Structures are given as C-alpha cells and as structure tokens.
Amino acid sequence: MTADNPHVPLRDFFAGVAEYTFETRLGIADPPLIDYISDLLTRFIRYDALYSVRDLAGKRLEAVGEMLAEAEARQGDARREVHRHIGDFALFWTGIYPEALRHAHAASPIKGDRFVDYCQQGKRAYYIASTIAADDGARQQVVLERLSYEFELCAFGLGEVRKEWERRDDGAGGHLVVIV
C-alpha cells in the first residue's frame, strides 16, 4: 500500500486480500497494479461511485454503451476519466461479479449492455485512458496501459480476490455489500 492512500479499514482489507492473491497465488508482484486494484475495490463499494458517470444533463449512465458515447463527447482530462471509469467498471463486473454479466438481459444492475463485450471494451477504454496525458504523471498511465494488456489476467485475479474474501468471511454469507 502506498503512503498517499488514506487509511481506510476496508481499503486495508482489500489491499491485503489483493496483495495475497496477486503476489502469492498468481505470482504477480506489481505494487502499483495491486494498489490500483485495491483502490478500485474500495471505491466501488459505494454504489454512487460505481455509477458515477453522468451525461451533461446530469443523468446517471448505467450502461457501458452510454458511457462510451459520453467519453467520446468529452475532451482532455474528462475524456480520460470516463474511459478509465469504463475500464474499471468492466473490470469490476468481469472479475468480481461475472454472473451478473450472464444475466445482463434480465433485471440486472448492468441493464442495457446485452451485446457489449466487457473484456474488449474494458481493454479498449484502459488503453485510450493510458494515451491521454494525466496531471499525476506517467505512473497512472503505465498502470492503465498494463490493465489494458493484462485485462483478462486482472479479471481472473479479481475473481480470486472474491474467493479469498469469501473464504475469510466469518459466516456473514461472503457477499460484498454495496453501501448506498
């Protein structure tokens, strides 16, 4: 965990599980990547962060297709951030809750994405985000590019992270609870 991340107990939990899973079980020793994934999990525990992209009228966008259209309508930092969010969104659902993607045509939290390939769109979104210069320098661009090239591996790793937190669960059902 990096020193610039705030101390949040849930983030500490996700950081520990992600570090154990990626380094010990998958053999991926990449602290910036693991920190990014830990931050993603911590951020997306909140429903409003998971669905934070809004159009210019303020309507919350819940489908990747809508988010893609919004990203293309933006420029600079705003465009990078929407593409980054699309990558994060796709990675989260693909890695943590892939069963939700199999039921996207039904009453799913991901309505409207029936024909969207989350892996393909996540990889593409991370790549685009990595090519747009960021204020925080090249470090985030490198991580986003790595997420683009290693999307499937990271999604698999997130699935393993979920298994690990369920294994560590003390009987509460092993389900991540989204805080509204």
DSSP string, 87-140: HHHHHHHHHT-HHHHHTTTSS-TTTT-TT--HHHHHHHHHHHHHHS--TT-HHH
6, pLDDT greater than 70: no
| Domains of the chain: total | 1
- For residue 177, being part of any structural domain is answered with no
Q: Examine residue 180 and state whether it is found in any structural domain, yes or no.
A: no
Of the segments 33-37, 52-56, 63-67, 132-136, which one has the largest average pLDDT value? Answer: 33-37
Average pLDDT over residues 22-28: 94
pLDDT tens per residue, range 124-147: 999 999 999 877 667 789 999 999
Mean pLDDT for the stretch of residues 137-162: 92
Confidence of residue 116 (pLDDT cuts 50, 70, 90): confident
- Does residue 175 lie within any of the structural domains? no
The pLDDT of residue 152 is 96
141 within domain boundaries: yes
121 band by pLDDT with thresholds 50, 70 and 90: very high
Tens digits of per-residue pLDDT, 75-93? Answer: 989 999 999 999 999 999 9
Residue 179 in any domain: the answer is no
Within-domain flag for 4: no
Q: Would residue 107 count as lying in a domain? A: yes
pLDDT at position 130 is 95
pLDDT for 136 equals 66
- Rounded to 5 degrees, φ, ψ at 60 are -70, 130
Question: For 85-110, what is the mean pLDDT?
Answer: 78
Could you tell me if residue 176 is inside a domain? no
**148 within 8 A of 126, measured Cβ to Cβ:** yes
Give the Cα separation of 61 and 58 in Å (integer): 9
Residues of the domain holding 72:
9-168
Q: What is the pTM of this model?
A: 0.84
Identify the pLDDT of residue 108. Answer: 45
- Which pLDDT value is given to residue 115? 59
